Amino acid sequence: MTGQRNTTTGTDARRPHAVIGIVDNDPLVGRALEDMFTASPTPLSVLWNVRSAQEALRLCADPAMRPELVLTDMMMPGMDGKQLAERLLALYPQLRVLAMSAFQYRYTQEQLRQAGIAATIRKEASVQEYVQLIGRIIGDDELATWTQDSYWPIRMRLTDTEITVMREYLKGRTTKATAHLLHLSEGTVKTHMNNVYKKLGVHTRAEAIRICMQEHVL
């Protein structure tokens, strides 16, 4: 077992949120997946991360340790992902199982469906692909349409130069004066501001500055 926790990943109660458990016999893969979900702001909470189907079954026997969805490797020694899904869903029909693999499955899609596996995903899929698929499986529209860019805090979406440019505008500097101060061309300064508009979904300098002031970026 590589980890057992209740991680909230920096979200708050207003954010879409799903609790998952991870099963992968390779501890490096399990840790990489957990880090991907928890190192950056995502609407997923990793309840536990284990290396065997047997350990997942033991944890799920405790209602407090039963996640909404189990993300399981397909190719595991002993009990594989399909067999784990069959056991879990026989005991907890409300649970959802998402299977992942880096290789070709030895089962057909029909066999996986009959086992109760909701969907399959490549291990190397992006965090956005994982979150959106989990959202579709558990019936959460906000997760199903989640994008990584839209979820990052504003300060983490903007570059240091973009923030510096806005600070100079906030001080009342013109584009020409800002360009001179930062040793940039006027065209480059305008490009930075256009990037800010796209990232924040606004159309004017005033809107961008207002949002950044509200979020304490400026």
| Strand-by-strand arrangement of the 69-73 sheet | 3-4, 44-50, 18-23, 69-73, 96-101, 119-122
Same domain (yes/no): 25, 124: yes
Give pTM, 2 decimals. 0.66
Q: Which domain holds residue 158?
A: 153-214
Same domain (yes/no): 97, 139: yes
Secondary structure element (H or E) that encloses residue 4, with its range: strand 3-4
β-bridge mates for residue 55, sequence order: none
The DSSP call for residue 119 is E
The DSSP call for residue 25 is S
pLDDT at position 10, please?
37
pLDDT at position 14, please?
38
Same domain (yes/no): 52, 67: yes
Same domain (yes/no): 122, 134: yes
CA distances from 133 to 99, 136, 162 (A): 11, 5, 33
Same domain (yes/no): 29, 115: yes
- Residue ranges in 39-185 assigned as alpha helix (H): 53-60, 81-91, 109-114, 127-138, 141-144, 148-151, 154-157, 160-170, 175-182
Maximum Cα interatomic distance, the chain, rounded to a whole number of Å:
69
24 neighbors 72 (Cβ within 8 angstroms): yes
Same domain (yes/no): 46, 133: yes
pLDDT, tens only, 120-135: 999 889 888 999 999 9
Same domain (yes/no): 194, 98: no
- Spatial separation of the C-alpha atoms in residues 164 and 109, rounded to whole Å: 52
- Spatial separation of the C-alpha atoms in residues 135 and 145, rounded to whole Å: 8
The DSSP call for residue 7 is -
Same domain (yes/no): 122, 49: yes
Same domain (yes/no): 146, 159: no
Same domain (yes/no): 123, 206: no
Same domain (yes/no): 80, 165: no
pLDDT at position 16, please?
43
Same domain (yes/no): 199, 95: no
pLDDT tens-place values along the chain, 218 residues long:
556 554 444 334 334 479 999 999 999 899 989 988 886 678 899 999 999 999 999 999 999 999 999 999 999 999 999 999 999 999 999 999 999 987 777 788 899 999 999 999 998 898 889 999 999 999 999 899 888 766 666 767 788 999 999 999 999 999 999 999 999 999 999 999 999 998 888 899 998 998 888 777 88
CA-wise closest residue to 118 among 138, 104, 146:
138
| Boundary (domain end) residue, out of 150, 176, 198 | 150
| Boundary (domain end) residue, out of 135, 150, 165 | 150
CATH of the domain at 167: 1.10.10.10
pLDDT at position 142, please?
86
| Boundary (domain end) residue, out of 101, 126, 150 | 150
- Residue ranges in 92-159 assigned as alpha helix (H): 109-114, 127-138, 141-144, 148-151, 154-157
116: left (phi over 0), alpha (psi -120 to 50) or beta: left
Number of domains the chain contains:
2
pLDDT, tens only, 14-39: 344 799 999 999 998 999 899 888 86
